[in-house]
């Protein structure tokens, strides 16, 4: 498909349509009118028709839309558009490893900005990713509309950086620090503590051996 510029408001509704169309397809429904779709997803039918017209799905008068055709369109568009930009705070050993990791190969994820307090790093490009000083973090996150951040800073810096990330409007934090950070309920945190995981593995091996030996 040639590049289609979809208005942001339309792009935001795509996952809503997509989810419902998937549900329809799974339940064996093959066609739907814009009015029916409108009732289900709570978007007025004129908006739906306009949204769909951006990707050439015009619907047939008196027939409506073919659910499977629409789904094909949506899959294509969503996969193309679902490149998630992630920020990285703390470009130390682990941060560097993550910068070098090719997230994009398997998933549509890329680290688009790094942040570090170290003046030797800030202002440089590491593994193709620009690294910004900490006093630019909030602004860059807002400007680049970054919603997810990987946190690889020392323990003592984790909470106050988290507070700034929340101020910047972040929605999710992948926390590689061993402390549990506090966030408001609308922010999701995923904790990844490599050292503890490794220790757990060692403990299990020492006490229980390989899983093969389990009863």
For the CA atoms of 152, 156, 160, 161, the dihedral, rounded to the nearest 10 degrees, stands at -20
Indicate whether 32 belongs to the interface with ligand ATP (CB under 6 A).
no
Smallest gap from Cβ 111 to ligand ATP, in A, equals 14
How far is 108 from 147, CA to CA, in rounded Å? 15
Q: Which is nearer to ligand ATP, 26 or 93 (CB)?
A: 93
- 122 close to 129: Cβ distance less than 8 angstroms: no
**Exactly one of 118, 144, 196, 200 binds ligand ATP (CB under 6 A); which one?**
118
Q: Which helix (H) or strand (E) holds 129?
A: strand 129-133
Please say which residue, 56 or 119, places its beta carbon nearer to ligand ATP: 119
Residue 186 C-beta: closest distance to ligand ATP, Å: 24
Torsion of CA 176, 92, 144, 1, to 10 degrees: -80
Q: State which residue, 37 or 99, has the beta carbon closest to ligand ATP.
A: 99
Tell me how many residues contact ligand ATP (CB under 6 A): 16
| 174 is a contact residue toward ligand ATP (CB under 6 A) | no
Among 94, 138, 174, 187, binds ligand ATP (CB under 6 A): 94
Applying CB under 6 A, which of residues 111, 112, 116, 162 lies at the interface with ligand ATP? 116
- How many angstroms separate the CA atoms of 117 and 104, rounded? 26
What is the closest distance, in whole angstroms, from the C-beta atom of residue 202 to ligand ATP in the complex?
19
Structure letter (DSSP) for residue 44 = -
Q: Does the protein bind ligand ATP through residue 151 (CB under 6 A)?
A: no
Part in contact with ligand ATP (CB under 6 A); list of ranges 31-39, 62-70, 92-100, 189-197: 92-100
DSSP 159-212: HHHHHHHHHTT--EEEE-SSS-----TTSEEEE--HHHHHHHHHHHHHHH--GG
10, 34, 140, 152: residue in contact with ligand ATP (rule CB under 6 A): 152
Task: Give dist(CA 51, CA 54) in Å, integer.
Answer: 6
Residues that bind ligand ATP (CB under 6 A): 89-95, 116-118, 134, 152-154, 157, 161
């Amino acid at each position: 498909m040639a590049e289609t510029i979809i208005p942001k408001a339309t792009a935001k509704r795509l996952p809503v349509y997509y989810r419902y169309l998937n549900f329809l397809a799974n339940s064996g429904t093959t066609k739907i009118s814009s009015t029916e779709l409108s009732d289900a997803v709570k978007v007025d039918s004129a908006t739906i028709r306009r949204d769909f017209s951006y990707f050439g799905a015009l619907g047939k008068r008196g027939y409506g839309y073919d659910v499977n055709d629409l789904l094909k369109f949506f899959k294509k568009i969503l996969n193309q558009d679902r490149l998630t930009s992630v920020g990285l705070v703390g470009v130390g050993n682990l941060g560097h490893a993550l910068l070098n990791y090719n997230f994009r190969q398997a998933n549509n994820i890329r680290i688009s900005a790094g942040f570090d307090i170290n003046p030797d790093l800030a202002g440089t490009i590491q593994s193709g990713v620009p690294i910004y000083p900490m006093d630019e973090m909030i602004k860059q996150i807002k400007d680049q509309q970054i919603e997810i951040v990987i946190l690889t800073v020392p323990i003592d810096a984790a909470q106050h950086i988290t507070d700034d990330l929340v101020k910047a409007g972040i929605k999710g934090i992948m926390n590689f620090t061993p402390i549990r950070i506090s966030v408001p309920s609308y922010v999701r945190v995923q904790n990844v503590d490599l050292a503890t995981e490794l220790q757990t593995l060692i403990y299990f091996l020492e006490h229980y051996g390989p899983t093969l030996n389990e009863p």
